[in-house]
Chain A
Amino acid sequence: MDEAALLDVAGLDTYYGRAHILAGVELAIRRGEVVVLLGRNGAGKSTTMKSVMGLVRPAAGRIEFDGADITGAPPHQVARRGLGYVPEDRRIFSDLSVMENLEVGRQRPREGAPSWSPEKLFEIFPNLAAMRARPGGRMSGGEQQMLTIARTLMGNPRLILLDEPSEGLAPVIVEQMAKAIIRLKSEGLTVLLSEQNLHFARLVSDRAYIIEKGRIRYQGTIAALMADEAVRAQYLSV
């Protein structure tokens, strides 16, 4: 496929028990891109990310990251290769303080990837700086969303999978989140995010895929998607 692809997913099939969730999902993300995976509730966005991460075992298909085959590798090995994952339900360690949550995510600096420290992350997420010792369980949803992203960045990933970062956030926070993602891109990070919020996706992404019932139905630049009323009406409007 694409020579320069950092993440290359081909023919991905995933089942939950007997339910066939993903059917031949194809994605290719190039270095430095921000790509959005759009789709309605239950379309298979989270399942795609979990399959890439090794949290769910795909039945068929091939996942290549940075030229290496990571299909079926356990999550910690995938993460160690520089693939960061931010779950949609945040999964903050509720008893651990902000600093401790960040510590869990910490990995060694990685060549060819931006390096992060808590102080540098607090520049992007200033809210967190004021609550270093606060237990994760006593933070607002927006604060937790920032912490979960910061925690994954502590692993100095080359690419992060961001599962619905704008979900359930107040408009002001959504705007902050968009700024943060643009900042990450400027640092050289590659991003695959999933979204239902087209407005948000448009602010941050270069390209888009649309997934429906576990199949990729559309791919193109975000500008092309915005111009294509028919596609948006078919796959995205509720």
Chain B
Amino acid sequence: MVVNSLVIQLLNGLASASALFLVASGLSIIFGVTRIVNFAHGSFYMLGAYVAFSITRALPVEAFDVLGELGPHVRFWGGIATAALVVGLVGIAIEIAVLRRIYHAPELFQLLATFGIVLIVQDATLAIWGPENLVGPRAPGLRGAVYILDQRFPQYELLLIAIGPAMLGLLWLLFHRTRWGTLVRAATLDREMVAALGVDQRKLFTGVFLLGAALAGLGGALQLPRETLNLQMDLSIIADVFVVTVVGGMGSVVGAYLAALLIAELQALMLLAPPFTIAGIEIAFAKLTLIPSFLVMAAVLIVRPYGLLGRPQAAARVAGAAEPVLRLATPELTRIGLAALAALALLPLAFGDYTVAVATEIAIFVLFTASLHFIMGPGGMASFGHAAYFGLGAYACGLAVKYWAAPMGVGLAFAPVLAGLGGLLFGWFTVRLSGVYLAMLTLAFAQIVWSIVFQSDALTGGDNGIRGVWPDEWARDKAVYYALAVALCIAGTLLLRRIIYAPFGYALRAGRDSPLRAEAIGIDVRRVQWIAFAVSALFAGIAGGLFAYLKGSVFPTYVSIPKSVDALVRVLLGGVQTVSGPIVGAIVFTGLEEQLARATEYWRAVLGVVIILLVLAFPEGLAGFAQRRWERWRGGGE
């Protein structure tokens, strides 16, 4: 019996691998040529499913009657193929409208802009198809099941199993037997040389986007008979897909297939493992399917930093501007900043509870943003999963209240400890990578934390979160809590700032600018980065703890991808290379988000547009822009 269910699980794994492969190969192909990690690839997948849903419904049955027996098949599969094509065209539109303008932007900004697209597609899907889950049609002729070792196995899954290798074969032929494919492979290796040989890169990029988006759309459309459609499909697949592409090696289609198999099989087998108990809490492997895939990724990345079949990327070979050094604000700017802080302190006297609560939130986000800025700016490590540490801090407080009924002081002390430990653990892996790989790994770690808090109902309350996380009696008053939060956040932010200008900060920046030279003068770069990562996590944890007591509750959404991206937007908005940046970024963004959420139901889409516009308009961030303007104005006046 055990063997039988094992075989069935392995088959299930194969079927899941196909969809994962389709999306991951698309992402990988796009990255190979354009060097853009397309966050919106999960959105293409989701769109594929929804568009296929509408097309297979809209096509009138009678129109296919002339085909007789074949009619329903043509109708269904025609719908699936058309959906893939439609998504491909959407991909082209996005490439031309947005990505084409940012091929020379820093990779972080590119990732961010594609996240703006995620937000827009999410709201567009909501507007067109509504918030309810949708159930698609079954595939004609494949509704039944076959018996394998006395176990029922759906026919459609068998088809899916075949589609993976079939598409792999087709892609192989495309890349090795056509001129276009040869050009794409060449461009993956050295796109500037390809241009110097007379190939129009822009057409190549657009074509690659068509293919990549259509593959993701096909992956989504094929889910139609298998899964209910929902608005979370995009982000839930993108985490898995990031893992698959990173494990397989960015830019390698065969690697993507191997990795998809590996991950999907592991996840399928996890379902068979019996639950186990730690400290009286039952933990079911079946619920922790995300964890093995991330562990595999971490393991692979340590042994082969560029994935199973990937290789180090040749530097983009574009004479890029050097990172500007971190600039200190001029004394005037500092004075203006201090005046603003003083005004902040007097706020509760003048305004009501709502404004004070928003102001508290802003203060908390200033600290959170400063903590991320600390590793991004001076450290040169762009974490795409910083919400993990914010969330760990918040959950530390939540758990302290839930299990020990502890007072706020204990919770707030526990928050940085738990977050800092998380930072130590994940940071150890993270500092071994750089660039987009680092970004994707940090995102994956955040997803681990998310899946743990989301899936272990018994420990964390799962989706329902932990409620009743209120401050002690003396701090219940909004104004008092505000004062406490502002004091802690300003202290934390100033401390981080001190560290940046302390010898440790110089060592960190030396490691960022020239690891080799830093090593040569005796700096253990990895160690310095590791410590910085943990310190940053620790401060994020304090912010998370304060946030938990502000809201009175803790939810898995604190750890979600959008929260991590919000943090990045705040940093980038302020400018990575200005110390005052995080403060400006946090204030502007938090205020903006608050206003948007109140003004329109579709605030996510508006936010997406704003992110994209910001990336297009201010590659050095708002504070960097303002500071330069200010200095020029001052300089001109004298």
Whether A95 lies near B185 (C-beta < 8 A) is yes
Whether A87 lies near B196 (C-beta < 8 A) is yes
Interface residues of B in 155-188 (CB under 8 A from A): 179, 182-183, 185-186
* A107 CB-CB contact with B under 8 Å: yes
Q: How far is the CA of A85 from the CA of B198 in the complex (A)?
A: 10
> Given A93-B189, A103-B179, A17–B319 Cβ distance below 8 Å?
yes
> Given A91-B193, A104-B194, A76–B201 Cβ distance below 8 Å?
yes
For A86, give the chain B residue with the smallest CB separation.
Answer: B196
* B278 CB-CB contact with A under 8 Å: no
For B188, give the chain A residue with the smallest CB separation.
Answer: A95
* B513 CB-CB contact with A under 8 Å: no
Picked from A74, A106, A107, the residue with its CB within 8 Å of the CB of B195 is A74
Question: For residue A139, which residues in chain B have a CB less than 8 angstroms away from its CB?
Answer: none
Picked from A17, A55, A106, the residue with its CB within 8 Å of the CB of B196 is A55
B483 to chain A, nearest CB (A): 48
Whether A76 lies near B200 (C-beta < 8 A) is yes
Q: Mark A38-81, 1 if CB is under 8 A from B, else 0.
A: 00000000000000010110000000000000000011100110
B514 to chain A, nearest CB (A): 17
* B190 CB-CB contact with A under 8 Å: yes
For A108, give the chain B residue with the smallest CB separation.
Answer: B198
* B63 CB-CB contact with A under 8 Å: no
Query: Helix, strand, loop or mixed for chain B's interface?
Result: helix
Question: For residue A101, which residues in chain B have a CB less than 8 angstroms away from its CB?
Answer: 186
Q: How far is the CA of A151 from the CA of B200 in the complex (A)?
A: 17
For B319, give the chain A residue with the smallest CB separation.
Answer: A16
Question: For residue B189, which residues in chain A have a CB less than 8 angstroms away from its CB?
Answer: 93-96
Question: For residue A79, which residues in chain B have a CB less than 8 angstroms away from its CB?
Answer: 195-198
For B203, give the chain A residue with the smallest CB separation.
Answer: A76
> Given A55-B192, A96-B189, A105–B197 Cβ distance below 8 Å?
yes
Q: How far is the CA of A94 from the CA of B319 in the complex (A)?
A: 22
Whether A93 lies near B195 (C-beta < 8 A) is no
A134 to chain B, nearest CB (A): 15
Question: For residue B200, which residues in chain A have a CB less than 8 angstroms away from its CB?
Answer: 76
Whether A76 lies near B199 (C-beta < 8 A) is yes
Whether B186 lies near A75 (C-beta < 8 A) is no
* A155 CB-CB contact with B under 8 Å: yes
* A152 CB-CB contact with B under 8 Å: yes
Question: For residue A95, which residues in chain B have a CB less than 8 angstroms away from its CB?
Answer: 185, 189
For A91, give the chain B residue with the smallest CB separation.
Answer: B193
A and B contact pairs by CB, cutoff 8 A, 7 listed: A17-B319, A76-B195, A76-B196, A76-B200, A85-B196, A93-B186, A101-B186
9 A-B pairs with least C-beta separation: A79-B198, A75-B195, A91-B193, A104-B186, A93-B186, A75-B196, A76-B195, A105-B197, A93-B189
Q: Which residues of A contact B (CB under 8 A)?
A: 16-17, 53, 55-56, 74-76, 79-80, 85, 87, 91, 93-96, 100-101, 103-107, 151-152, 155
